[in-house]
Amino acid sequence: MGGAQHELVYQPTYSHMEVIELAQRVLATEEAVQAAQKMKTILNGPLTDQLRQLERCGAELERPDQWDGRDSQIFRQRWTNDRRTLDNCINTLKQLQQDSEKVVRAIRTAGGDAS
How many structural domains does the chain have? 1
- pLDDT of 7-62, one tens digit each? 554 444 444 445 555 545 667 788 888 888 888 889 888 998 999 999 999 999 99
pLDDT score recorded for residue 20:
54
Domain residue limits at 57: 30-108
- The mean pLDDT of 70-98, rounded to a whole number, is 94
Neighbours of 110 (CB within 10 A): 20
pLDDT score recorded for residue 10:
45
pLDDT score recorded for residue 53:
96
Query: Is 13 a domain residue?
Result: no
Query: Is 23 a domain residue?
Result: no
Query: Is 59 a domain residue?
Result: yes
Angle of helix 47-61 relative to helix 30-43, nearest 10 degrees, comes to: 30
Query: Is 1 a domain residue?
Result: no
pTM recorded for the entire structure: 0.63
Q: Give the span between the Cα atoms of 85 and 75, in whole angstroms.
A: 15
CB 60 within 8 A of CB 66: yes
The DSSP code sequence of 59-99 is HHHT-TTTS-SHHHHHHHHHHHHHHHHHHHHHHHHHHHHHH
Query: Is 70 a domain residue?
Result: yes
Query: Is 63 a domain residue?
Result: yes
**Residue that wins the pLDDT comparison between 111 and 107:** 107
Query: Is 66 a domain residue?
Result: yes
Q: Give the span between the Cα atoms of 45 and 63, in whole angstroms.
A: 30
Query: Is 25 a domain residue?
Result: no
